[in-house]
Amino acid sequence: METSYILNQLGEANEDYFGAVAPPLIQTSNFCYKTCNDLQTAISDEKNNLIYSRGNNPTLTILSKKMAALEGADDALLFSSGMAAISCAIISSVKSGDHVICVQHAYSWTNTLLRELLPRFGVFTDFVDGKNIEEINAAIKPNTKLIYIESPNSLTLELQDIKAITEIAKKHNILTIADNSYATPLYQQPSALGVDIVVHSATKYLSGHSDTVIGVLCSSKEIVDRIFANEYLTFGGISSPFNAWLMLRGLRTLPIRMKHISQTTEQIVRFLECNPKVEKVNWPFAASFAQNELAASQMKAGSGLFSIYFKTLDTKRIADFCEALKYFQIAVSWGGYESLVFPGFVHASHAKPSDVPLNLVRFSVGLEEADVLINDLKQALEKI
Ligand SMILES: *Cc1c(COP(=O)(O)O)cnc(C)c1O
């Protein structure tokens, strides 16, 4: 299916709502029926009917059709956050006594779920270097039920060979989940590479305007139907219609935002690779990035998230640099219209110890012009 058709038309039926070009925000909790029998029939197949907005809502249905088509999956579910989607995907795949393999440097709360929460329910995880297929192979146990990957990750941007991993998983009858937030379905399609469940923090590029928190899970009809009838309705982590409506609007401009951001980032990365104060730049398509061939083989392009290691470990000087930036705002998150900078050392001030290097600084490139951002970096680099 062609991308602009998916984004502009699929799932929409303007004739059903006065010809309105923008689909309505159906802000309702429940749906009424003429007869008891009609309600009874509908309840017997909740996945395909409108009963209550913890299950289905028409604004969300439009969005889930678009997300499934973009990911090349049968169906999609929408959640109140990326973490709600990730938690639901993982918990629906395991039971007490099962073993999980997860890549190092997965998103921090995904890590918390696997490392701290699930052991309470008898599910244990081994964390492996996702770059090393042999290490993944060696970690497989008779009770391994799930391999969780995030390629690239959102801090050091390391990739995994998705096809090689899903081939191993299929051989051992192990389910795979991939966090595809970084690349978006426009730049990478994990399901085409054999991944069973694709999850997204749609808070990032898919919505793109830093005004909503929302998550997506895409998979086969069989898996989505099973999750819907069990964890989805039970946990109740569905997106609000308003947040889904904002994401629907954000999706319209996804291709042009991604194109602009990708091109701008390439120029910024090239500039930083040549700066003597910068030790290393982590961006999948950087000439100096160790896995750039793997990136080119499974991704169409890089997005606007990248990190650098400064030569200095002096966090005061790194803070001076971040605070001197005028266009990059100091904040967590990424994928919005605005450029952001996130110094890794702030992790170290948490109660938990951090394995984020003190000299790592992460950037999210927004919709500003490349020369504006490069000039901003230039003047701030003089302060370090
Ligand atoms: C932000 C993020 C998440 C979590 O998504 P929320 O929408 O914040 O819950 C998951 N994975 C990655 C890679 C992220 O950057």
Give the pLDDT confidence of 2-40 residue by residue, as tens digits: 999 999 999 999 999 999 999 999 999 999 999 999 999
215 lines ligand 1 (CB under 6 A): yes
Q: How confident is the model at residue 347 (pLDDT cuts 50, 70, 90)?
A: confident
For residue 150, what are the β-bridge partners? 179
pLDDT digits (tens, 9 = 90+) for 58-113: 999 999 999 999 999 999 999 999 999 999 999 999 999 999 999 999 999 999 99
Q: Which of 154, 188, 209 to mutate to test the pocket of ligand 1 (most atoms within 8 A of CB)?
A: 154
C-alpha 37/C-alpha 42 separation (Å) is 9
Q: Which of 83, 110, 114, 238 to mutate to test the pocket of ligand 1 (most atoms within 8 A of CB)?
A: 83
C-alpha 196/C-alpha 205 separation (Å) is 22
CA 326 vs CA 309, 340, 378: distances in Å: 20, 10, 11
pLDDT digits (tens, 9 = 90+) for 192-222: 999 999 999 999 999 999 999 999 999 999 9
Q: State residue 214's pLDDT score.
A: 98
What is the DSSP secondary structure assignment for residue 174, as one 8-state letter? -
Backbone angles phi, psi at 164, to 5 degrees: -60, -40
For 169, half-sphere exposure in the C-beta direction (CA atoms, 13 angstrom radius) is 24
Q: State residue 142's pLDDT score.
A: 98
Residue count (the chain): 384
SS3 160: coil
Residue of 212, 132, 183 whose CA lies nearest to 298: 183
201 lines ligand 1 (CB under 6 A): yes
Residue 181 makes CB contacts below 8 A (sequence gap 6+) with: 82, 107, 150, 154, 199, 200, 201, 202, 204, 205, 335
pLDDT higher than threshold 70 for residue 351: no
Q: 213: CA distance to ligand 1 center in Å?
A: 9
Is the distance from CB of 60 to CB of 78 less than 8 angstroms?
A: yes
**168 sits in which H/E element:** helix 162-171
What pTM was estimated for this model as a whole?
A: 0.97
- The C-alpha angle 340, 255, 362, rounded to 5 degrees, equals 20
pLDDT higher than threshold 90 for residue 354: no
Residue 322 makes CB contacts below 8 A (sequence gap 6+) with: 328, 330, 341, 343, 361, 380
Q: State residue 329's pLDDT score.
A: 98
Question: Token pair of 123, please?
Answer: 């599910």
- What distance, in Å, lies between the first and last C-alpha atoms of the chain? 49
For 377, half-sphere exposure in the C-beta direction (CA atoms, 13 angstrom radius) is 28
Q: State residue 355's pLDDT score.
A: 81
pLDDT digits (tens, 9 = 90+) for 221-251: 999 999 999 999 999 999 999 999 999 999 9
**Nearest C-alpha to atom 8 of ligand 1 is from which residue?**
82
Is the distance from CB of 131 to CB of 158 less than 8 angstroms?
A: yes
Query: What is the overall mean pLDDT for the chain?
Result: 97
SS3 73: coil
Is the distance from CB of 363 to CB of 307 less than 8 angstroms?
A: yes
**Nearest C-alpha to atom 5 of ligand 1 is from which residue?**
82
**Which percentage of the chain shows pLDDT scores above 90?**
97
Q: How confident is the model at residue 371 (pLDDT cuts 50, 70, 90)?
A: very high
Q: 33: CA distance to ligand 1 center in Å?
A: 38
Q: State residue 350's pLDDT score.
A: 58
Q: Which atom of ligand 1 is closest in space to residue 181's alpha carbon?
A: 13
Backbone angles phi, psi at 369, to 5 degrees: -75, 150
C-alpha 323/C-alpha 345 separation (Å) is 14
pLDDT digits (tens, 9 = 90+) for 122-139: 999 999 999 999 999 999
Backbone angles phi, psi at 127, to 5 degrees: -100, 130
Q: State residue 353's pLDDT score.
A: 62
